[in-house]
Each structure stands twice: as structure tokens, then as C-alpha cells.
Amino acid sequence: MAENAKGRKVWLDGKIVDYNEAKVPILTHSLQYGSGIFEGIRAYPTKRGAAIFRLQEHVRRFQYTAKIYSMRLGYSDKELSDAIVATVKASGLDACYIRPFAFYNDDKIGISTTGKRVSVYIAAVPFGAYFGAAKERGIKCKISSWRRINSDILPVQAKSSGNYINSIMANNEARASGFEEAILLSRNGSVAEGPGENIFIVKEGELLTPDVGSDILLGITRNSLITIAEKLGISVVQREIHHEELYTADEVFFAGTAAEITPIVNIDGMGIGDGKPGRLTMMLAKKYDSIVHGNERAYAGWLTYVR
């Protein structure tokens, strides 16, 4: 038993069980073929206890991913949301990462999913800054030699396990070359996203981010930041971003549930701006932090309180 799993609970097919009771056969379809689908959600501590950030939007994306993969989850949005809240409550954590996961719980050899049982679990685990201390000082990225998958090959807007093999290849390559993270280009060579993050650049006070045609996952953090920036009167443009625009940007940052807002200060050995986290990046990071911790009335609707 994993030492750090002591006392941990998991929601599995409708019941909260001990983490160590939630077991599957080693030949499970989704383990063999990467056919699982998932979400990544965070809960943050607030004055009113743990609050889950943009729960409805994450549940909706989970359902859309299931639909794209013709996977019958058998739960409504409300049932899944209630189960996620119950899981966080059972975890006793007020700051956590929540992982809803659906998979073919069947150990027959063969790729067909017809008639195979679908199981859903939800886990909530302690989780800090994805890039650790680098979140404050900024990270060094490498443009990957691997292109982002695109919808000719796999549904890029679905959050499926299989999609992350592409992310893993890019991340492995970046780390092996001494960088902290990769940036993937789209099928036509424009900027797409990080292995698990959307990307933004700041140029002359304007915020730019790759558009839906750039082979990206439509991130919920991305959507939140577009809303926040526009409300602050910052112009936001969603368009194709050329590779070289990264090098000449004033600021570049990643945005995602895990990464939150992480400044990128160097790409391919070239300093971005003055080589330090940018002013607008840090202002948006501070605002985002304040919103997720329940300190901004205007964004109260984005939080689901656990108690």
C-alpha cells in the first residue's frame, strides 16, 4: 500500500471507498490501450472552506469527452458534480487536485469497446504548485520537435488518456534537453500549447492566445483568463500565433488548472522580454489567485463550496 495513501478515499462507481480497495485487473482495457478519459480540477481553501473552481465547466467537458469517444458514463452533470463534492468532502482536504476518470473496466484482450463495462472514479489528492518554486521565477521551455496532435488524428478537444502520449513525448524531450517544459506547434507550424497547459503571449499591452483552429484543448483556465482580462479592459486576441512571435513577445505564460499561471522566461535559450516574469502576467496571476480563493465577489459564481 502506498504510504501516502493512508486514509485516502476514492469515489468508485457510486460509492466512497478506501483508496486501496479501488483496484482493477492489470489487463484492464484502458490500461492497455489508453482508452480512459479524465478531468483535472482544483479546489482551493477559502474563508468558507474548500471551494471547487469552475466545477460545472469541468463536468461538462468530461461529458463532452465521453460523447466524442461514445463512452456511456451513465451519470448526469448533477450526479457527477455531487460525487465530486462528496469526494472532496471525504478527503478532508481544502486544497486539492481532483481527478475524475472514466475507463473500460474490462480485461478482455482486443481494442473493441462494444459491450465493455465503463467505470468512473474520482480521486482528490493534495497538490501544490505544478512547477514548484519555478512558478514564481518563471520556467525555461523548448519548442518541441513533436507536433501537437490534431483533429485529423485524434480529437484534440477531448481529454483522453491517449492524447497525453503526445504530451509525454514532448515533456520527456524538453526535460532531457535541460528545459522545464515543452511548447508544441500545431499541424501547420503555428503555436499550439504546452503538454498540459494553454499558452498566452503579451505584446504591447495586448494579450494573445492561439485560437480554436490551432490544435488546442479549450482550457477552462484559458477561458477564465480571457474573461478576467476583458473585464479589466485588456484587449485579448485569439488567433494563429507564429513560432517566432514567441521569441519577440514582451511576456509569455502558461495557463492551466495544474500550472495555474506560470511565467515562461526563456524559450530555446532566448530570454523573453527582460528574462523575468512579466508585469501583466503577474498581475493576472494575482487576480486569478484572489478569485480562486474566494476573495472576488464578481467571480463568486465560479466557485462551488464543499460544505
Ligand X SMILES: Cc1ncc(COP(=O)(O)O)c(C=O)c1O
Interacting residues toward ligand X by CB under 6 A? 40, 193, 196-198, 217, 219-222, 256-257
- The helix (H) or strand (E) run that includes residue 305 is strand 303-305
159 noted as active-site residue: yes
Cell readout for 45 is: 481553501
Quote the CA–CA distance of 234 and 283 in Å, as a whole number: 12
Three-state SS annotation for 14-57: CEEEEHHHCCCCCCCHHHHHCCCEECCEEEEEECCEEEEECHHH
H helices present in 17-162, as ranges: 29-33, 55-68, 77-91, 134-137
Smallest separation, CB 196 to ligand X (Å): 4
Cβ 149 vs Cβ 160: under 8 Å? no
Our measurement of the distance from residue 124's CA atom to the centroid of its chain's CA atoms, rounded to an integer in Å, reads 15
Q: Which is nearer to ligand X, 36 or 219 (CB)?
A: 219
User: What amino acid is encoded at 162 in this protein?
Assistant: G
- Looking at 159, 276, 286, 287, which residue is catalytic? 159
Q: Which is nearer to ligand X, 249 or 255 (CB)?
A: 255
Beta bridge partners of 304: 52
- The terminus-to-terminus CA distance of the chain in angstroms comes to 30
Q: Please report the DSSP string for 215-272 in residue order.
A: T----HHHHHHHHHHHHTT--EEE---BHHHHHT-SEEEEEETTTEEEEEEEETTEEP
Quote the CA–CA distance of 64 and 217 in Å, as a whole number: 12
Catalytic residues: 159
